[in-house]
Each structure stands twice: as C-alpha cells, then as structure tokens.
C-alpha cells in the first residue's frame, strides 16, 4: 500500500488525477474503473482540463463504473450515468459505447447484475480502479455487512448513505433507497486501486481501511489486502492516522 499525503482537496485531486493521467499515458487502451460522488469531481475536472490542453486522449479508453441507483434513468440529473456524461464523458473524446454503468431501470435486476458481471469479465481486469470512500467505510455501494459480496448485486443503502447522498437531491425529491453495485471481486482483481479520500468526516473510515482489521463491517478494509493500493488522502482525512 502506498499513501500519498495531500494538503487539501485541491491537492488531493491533482495528485489523484496525475495517477490516472500516467495510467493513460502508459496504456492508451486502459480499462478504467470509475466512481461518482463529491470526492472525485475535482479529479474529473482536472482530467477534462488536461484533455482540453491536448495532453490526454480517451479515444481507446474503456470505462466501467461502480454503481447506479435503482429506478433512475440515465437522463435523470441525479443518476450516475448523467453525472458521468456531464462531468467527464461529454467533455472528452471517449466513445460513448466504451462507457459502461449498470442500468438502474432494468426490469430484471438479477439479470442486469449478471450481465454487468459479464461485461466486467469481458473487459477486465480493470487496469486502474478509482474509488471514493463512504463515511461508513463503503466502497462502491458495498455497504457494511456480515460478509463481502463478490459479484454485482442490488444493495439497499444504509441510512447514513441515503442521508449523505440526499445533499445532491432537490428538497423533497426522493433519494433512491437501493443501487446496483459492482461487487468486491473485480475491485480486488483490478491491477491497481486508487482510493481518493478528503475531509475530516472520512477520517474514521480511512483509519479503519488503513489499519484494519479486514472486516465486512468496514467494506473498504478489504483494500488492505490489495497488492497495488494507492491511497491519496488530504490531511483532514488522515487526521487519525500516524
Ligand atoms: C459512488 C460510489 C461511492 C462514493 C462514496 C463517497 O460511485 O461508489 O462509494 O465513492 O459514497 O462519496 P462522496 O465522494 O460523495 O463522499
């Protein structure tokens, strides 16, 4: 495990973006595992800037996102498809057909989970998996539980997660209660994992990830077993770590 200490959110975003940038320079047809949420927004902003400056080429890149809300269609402003389109895909030269997220509107969700695993199997292993970290230690929407779930599955979100996610929704708008999420297996099989963490509210979860023990009650703690984990975290997030 390598821990890269960043001063603040901006510095964390720059450092994490430079790792993705390097990955894309090293392998033009990289398969990137991507996350959504507040933490990674700054990273995507920088990648878009680098693209505009002619430094990055997404034309052969393929992407697999971690998760999607059940019940939201891709044009819904809070769907993760929409987030990815607006914050990255529509701003760079990636081919839309090379971008994959689970379909939250699938009629047969079990089938959708199987199909997404098949897509991951065909494209994988993921070269670099970008992750954010939930306050409760979740990665993707692998929420605290009594076991780790290997494959793509539908997950009812914990109250803390629903509360945290509600900040992105309009007042009175219903926050989805479940999501389709990639399981732990493809994350652990990724050639490298880049965990981006910022802010004091993540400090307890980050300490548990970095110091163990490995337990499904803190899903991110499994990353301690990954052979090529890179953690980029700012000082607030690292406040409980020696
Ligand atoms: C989103 C995802 C989640 C987020 C996590 C942190 O695709 O997989 O695990 O990374 O909830 O979210 P933020 O960055 O908004 O605190």
Read off the pLDDT of residues 177-188 as tens digits, 9 standing for 90 and up.
999 999 999 999
Q: CA-to-CA distance for 163 and 32, rounded, in angstroms?
A: 28
How many contiguous H segments (helices) and E segments (strands) does the chain have?
7, 10
Tens digit of pLDDT at every position of the chain (242 positions) = 999 999 999 999 999 999 999 999 999 999 999 999 999 999 999 999 999 999 999 999 999 999 999 999 999 999 999 999 999 999 999 999 999 999 999 999 999 999 999 999 999 999 999 999 999 999 999 999 999 999 999 999 999 999 999 988 988 788 999 999 999 999 999 999 999 999 999 999 999 999 999 999 999 999 999 999 999 999 999 999 98
> In this structure, which residue's CA is closest to atom 5 in ligand 1?
134
- Position 172 scores a pLDDT of 76
Say what the pLDDT of residue 4 is.
98
Identify which of 134, 152, 209 to mutate to test ligand 1's pocket (most ligand atoms within 8 A of the CB).
134
Q: Is the pTM of this model over 0.75?
A: yes
Structure tokens at 37: 């949420």
Residues 16/50, Cβ–Cβ less than 8 Å: no
CA-CA distance, 239 to 235, in Å (whole number)?
Answer: 6
Ligand 1 proximal residues by C-beta, below 6 Å: 35-39, 66-67, 132-134, 138-140
Residue tagged active-site, from 68, 117, 143, 234: 143
- The predicted pLDDT at position 69 comes to 97
How far away, in angstroms, is 36 Cα from ligand 1 center?
6
H/E stretch holding 204 reads helix 203-211
pLDDT computed for residue 176 by the predictor: 94
d(CA 64, CA 119): 9
What gap in Å lies between CA 71 and CA 222, rounded to an integer? 29
Q: What is the CA radius of gyration of the chain?
A: 17
Residue among 104, 133, 237 to mutate when testing ligand 1 (max atoms within 8 A of CB): 133
pLDDT of 157: 94
- Cα-Cα-Cα-Cα torsion 41, 46, 51, 55, nearest 10 degrees, comes to -150
Token readout for 61 is 């890149």
- Ligand 1, closest atom to CA 37? 15
| Residue 138 is a catalytic residue | yes
For the domain spanning 2-197, the CATH number is 3.40.50.1360
* Closest Cα to atom 12 of ligand 1: 37
**Helix or strand holding residue 5 (H, E):** strand 2-6
Asked if 153 is an active-site residue, the reply is no
Cβ neighbours for 181, distance < 8 A, ≥ 6 positions apart:
66, 67, 102, 140, 141, 142, 152, 153, 154, 155
Name the residue ranges covered by the structural domains of the chain: 2-197
Alpha-carbon 40 to chain mean position: 8
Question: Which of 112, 138, 165, 234 is labelled catalytic?
Answer: 138
Question: Distance, CA 131 to ligand 1 centroid (Å)?
Answer: 7
Element (H, E) at 234: strand 229-234
Closest CA to 236 of 6, 3, 18, 17: 6
The pLDDT of residue 170 is 87
Full DSSP string of 60-121: T-EEEESEEETT--TTSTTSHHHHHHHHTGGGTT--GGGEE---TT-SSHHHHHHHHHHHHH
d(CA 17, CA 4): 12
Alpha-carbon span 29 to 49, nearest angstrom: 20
């Amino acid at each position: 495990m390598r821990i890269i200490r960043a001063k603040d959110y901006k510095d964390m975003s720059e450092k994490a973006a430079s790792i993705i940038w390097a990955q894309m320079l090293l392998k033009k047809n990289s398969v990137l595992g991507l996350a959504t949420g507040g933490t990674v927004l700054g990273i995507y902003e920088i990648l878009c800037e680098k693209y505009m400056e002619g430094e990055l080429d997404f034309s052969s890149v393929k992407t697999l996102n971690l998760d999607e809300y059940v019940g939201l269609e891709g044009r819904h402003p809070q769907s993760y498809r929409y987030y990815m389109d607006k914050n990255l895909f529509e701003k760079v030269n990636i081919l839309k057909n090379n971008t994959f997220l689970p379909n939250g509107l699938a009629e047969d969700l079990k089938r959708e989970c199987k199909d997404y695993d098949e897509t991951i199997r065909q494209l994988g292993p993921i070269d670099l998996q970008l992750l954010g970290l939930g306050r409760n230690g979740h990665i993707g929407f692998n929420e605290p539980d009594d076991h780790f779930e290997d494959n793509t599955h539908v997950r009812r979100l914990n109250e803390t997660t629903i509360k945290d996610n509600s900040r992105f929704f309009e007042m009175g708008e219903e926050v989805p209660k479940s999501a389709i999420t990639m399981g732990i297996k493809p994350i652990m099989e990724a050639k490298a994992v880049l965990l981006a963490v910022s802010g004091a509210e993540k400090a307890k979860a980050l300490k548990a990830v970095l110091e163990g023990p490995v337990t499904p009650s803190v899903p991110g703690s499994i990353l301690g077993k990954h052979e090529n984990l890179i953690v980029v975290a700012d000082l607030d997030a690292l406040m409980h770590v020696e």
